[in-house]
Structure 1
């Protein structure tokens, strides 16, 4: 019989990681690492003695996706001509030409 982390335990750690990343959104990388490192080390230390390498790999992938989604969510979408949607909206409201990029 193989002992694995329960689905409820996996759900709890995923929710905790998501909450921590949300709270740290916009912070620098050192702060994020300082906050997440003890959480992940503690959880992996607790489940180290059971069959959990696939669970660890899935949590690693989940954390990577959480951290990767942060900067893209904060960046406005860009257009084909290289200008952002926010820049074009600002330029049209101020009366300038829509295709001109502003620095």
Structure 2
């Protein structure tokens, strides 16, 4: 599955626009990560536990978006975007979305 942030794909023709596709996941913080984050808040530095959690969440959201596109017969996604939002205290949603297309 080709995924691009642009509205076209170089050296390919868009044969069919299938439509909107998305994938998302909601993640919560882990107590161990919260303790580490609190300490990092005092001394400063990168919070690796949260980075790992968010990287995993991005992979899951993109994977679900690709599954959505494949189920609709697409072979590419254009206009790819990713967004995060707070759902509730201690939980965040990651959503990946774009336009499913068939390209040559």
> Normalised by the size of structure 2, how large is the TM-score?
0.27
Q: Which has the higher contact order (CA 8 A, sep 6+)?
A: 2
> Normalised by the size of structure 1, how large is the TM-score?
0.27
Q: Which has the higher helix share?
A: 1
Larger Rg: 1
Q: Which has the higher strand share?
A: 2
